């Protein structure tokens, strides 16, 4: 522990425009792991200890790259890539589970539509110079999505007890759509305040 503001500032190794950072490398690894996870679901089955442990590591790594970014310096690329990695992991896992018949396709489609729309809107807002900050409830939404997927991969629950998995997934859908509405209202206000050609 440093105990001084100067030492803490010295740990900020990267500026906002940096690309090659440890946090971004970890985030990129999570992005690349998404299709690997989906393939594993199709090859070894939707419920196994391998998938459960892999998912636990991938979901937990989200907090690790966040801590690295706060310690070494947050970047604009990281702010965009980190939530994108979350979305790729969640959508990839859910799509694979739907293809295996563990969950229904409808909640997966709803989550995908919201996440795709939100990502597109972030890009649009960013081009106008408006940053769309994450809401606290959005973190809860992501957590519930991850729990639902973990339940599906967890062998004692998994395929043998699909009911709890589907309930958890629909709770995640409700949070996903609700937070999407919150973002829409917030973003419209920010865009109006920024003017027609911000930035």
Q: Which tokens belong to 28?
A: 């990129």
pTM assigned to the model: 0.78
**pLDDT for the residue numbered 67:** 72
CATH number belonging to the domain at 20-192, selected among 1.10.3470.10, 3.40.50.360, 1.20.120.1760, 1.10.290.10: 1.20.120.1760
Q: Which tokens belong to 17?
A: 């425009």
**pLDDT for the residue numbered 93:** 92
**pLDDT for the residue numbered 196:** 57
Q: Which tokens belong to 27?
A: 């985030």
Q: Mark residue 45 as left, alpha or beta (left: phi above 0; alpha: psi -120 to 50; beta: remaining).
A: left
- Per residue, the 3-state secondary structure of the chain, as one string, reads CCCCHHHHHHCCCCCCCCCCCHHHHHHHHHHHHHHHHHHHHHHHCCCCHHHHHHHHHHHHHHHHHHHHHHHHCCCHHHHHHHHHHHHHHHHHHHHHHHHCCCCCHHHHHHHHHHHHHHHHHHHHHHHCCCCCCCCHHHHHHHHHHHHHHHHHHCCCCCHHHHHHHHHHHHHHHHHHHHHHHHHHHHHHHHHHHHCCCCC
**pLDDT for the residue numbered 170:** 93
Q: Print pLDDT tens along the chain (199 aa).
A: 344 444 354 457 666 666 667 777 788 888 888 899 999 998 988 889 999 999 999 888 777 766 766 676 666 666 667 778 888 899 999 999 999 888 889 999 999 998 888 878 777 777 767 666 667 788 888 889 999 999 999 988 876 667 888 899 999 999 999 988 887 777 677 667 666 554 4
């Amino acid at each position: 522990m440093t105990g001084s503001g100067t030492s803490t500032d010295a740990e900020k190794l990267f500026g906002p425009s940096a690309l090659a950072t440890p946090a971004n490398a970890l985030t990129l690894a999570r992005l690349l792991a998404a299709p690997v996870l989906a393939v594993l679901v199709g090859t070894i089955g939707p419920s196994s200890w391998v998938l459960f442990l892999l998912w636990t590591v991938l979901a937990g790594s989200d907090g690790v790259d966040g801590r690295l970014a706060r310690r070494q310096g947050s970047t604009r690329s990281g702010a965009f890539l980190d939530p994108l990695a979350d979305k790729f992991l969640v959508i990839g896992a859910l799509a694979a589970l739907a293809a295996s018949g563990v969950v229904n396709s409808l909640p997966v489609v709803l989550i995908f539509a919201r996440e795709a729309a939100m990502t597109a809107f972030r890009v649009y807002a960013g081009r106008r110079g408006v940053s769309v900050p994450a809401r606290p409830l959005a973190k809860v939404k992501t957590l519930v999505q991850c729990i639902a997927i973990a339940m599906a991969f967890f062998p004692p629950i998994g395929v043998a007890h699909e009911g709890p998995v589907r309930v958890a997934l629909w709770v995640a859908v409700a949070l996903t759509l609700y937070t999407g509405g919150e973002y829409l209202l917030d973003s419209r206000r920010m865009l109006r305040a920024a003017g027609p050609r911000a930035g």
